[in-house]
Amino acid sequence: MGTIKFFLMHLSSSSEKIFVAGHRGLVGSGVVRALKQVGFSNIVTRSRSELDLLNQASVNAFFEREQPEFVVLAAAKVGGILANDTYPADFLAQNLSIQSNVIEAAFRAGVKRLVFLGSTCIYPKLAQQPLKEEYLLTGPLEPTNEWYAIAKIAGVKLCESLRKQYGVDFISLMPTNMYGPGDNFDLNSSHVLPAMMRKFHAAKGTSNSVELWGTGTPKREFLYVDDLSSAVIHVLKTEEGPLHAAAPGGLMNVGVGQDLAISELAKAVKRAVGSTNEIVYDATKPDGTPRKLVDVSRLFSLGWKPEVSLEDGLSRTYEWYLKNVDNLDE
């Protein structure tokens, strides 16, 4: 790749140029919204038709032309258990391409700091709870989403290797299960929470039961998108010394530090929607990882904490869903 000189700097001015890759997705749109709310104005975004992140030459040309100072890499091919199982090659190959194209182009362009957003599915299926960053690559992955996880692990390791070899300020944040306005509510490709919300909404006012996958016993942690966005900005603005002391390898989890059973989540979503429908579990469908709670001590040590409760987050998400439900399948 060649030797490039970097000046490690944190985000300190509202005029500095920030490229948010994947700005139309749940996470990327939340980051753009949060940046604007705190006064950052020089935000660069591109739609898929304007910039194909799968095309290395196009990505390189974009970085050479725009010269962003900071990058938030939120672009990814995402989906739930069904989507991962149906399109394993797409999940692996497309995410590998997106990540390597953006990360390597950012490296060549001399970006001051890059934040790569992954997922806590990178950790072994049966790892000790709560999940600490050092548990990465210590055991087999959860088979239902291993293709996506392997791609994200490669992204983490690419950032880590560039930090080690060239001293660049590339950070990997691994958020727990995300939800919020702008989520994917397609039942064929969505994650558990938005799928639940859509099912309860569809059944509302009828005598139909709501069928959910699995047994309802697995435990999960849920992070509202605005809290992740505030974590991203917090990391972008944190000075190099404290940031590197907290995460020497550049890897940090993002979560709330509490989990709940899927059955309890279902009841919470049911309340948020105002449904009275009976819940039925299809135990022939996979549960996925038995439990997934992340250790957030590294990020908490830097002074960040989540602010949105699950009840409040579900209410906000359902409010957004009601306003956009007619356009979700277009």
Q: Sign of torsion, CA 108 246 31 97?
A: positive
Placement of tokens 């304007």 in the chain: 50
How many degrees, rounded to 5, is the angle at CA 252 between CA 22 and CA 92? 50
Q: Is 224 in a helix, a strand, or coil?
A: strand
Which of 87, 123, 135, 148 is catalytic? The answer is 148
CB atoms within 10 A of CB 301: 13
Please, where are the H alpha helices in the chain? 26-37, 56-66, 81-86, 88-109, 146-166, 192-203, 225-237, 240-246, 262-273, 297-300, 310-324
Q: Which residues pair with 280 in a beta bridge?
A: 211
Write the Ramachandran bin of 167: left for phi over 0, alpha for psi from -120 to 50, otherwise beta. Answer: left
Reply yes or no on whether 148 is catalytic: yes
With beta carbons less than 8 A apart as the criterion, state whether 296 and 304 touch: no
Please give the positions annotated as active site: 148
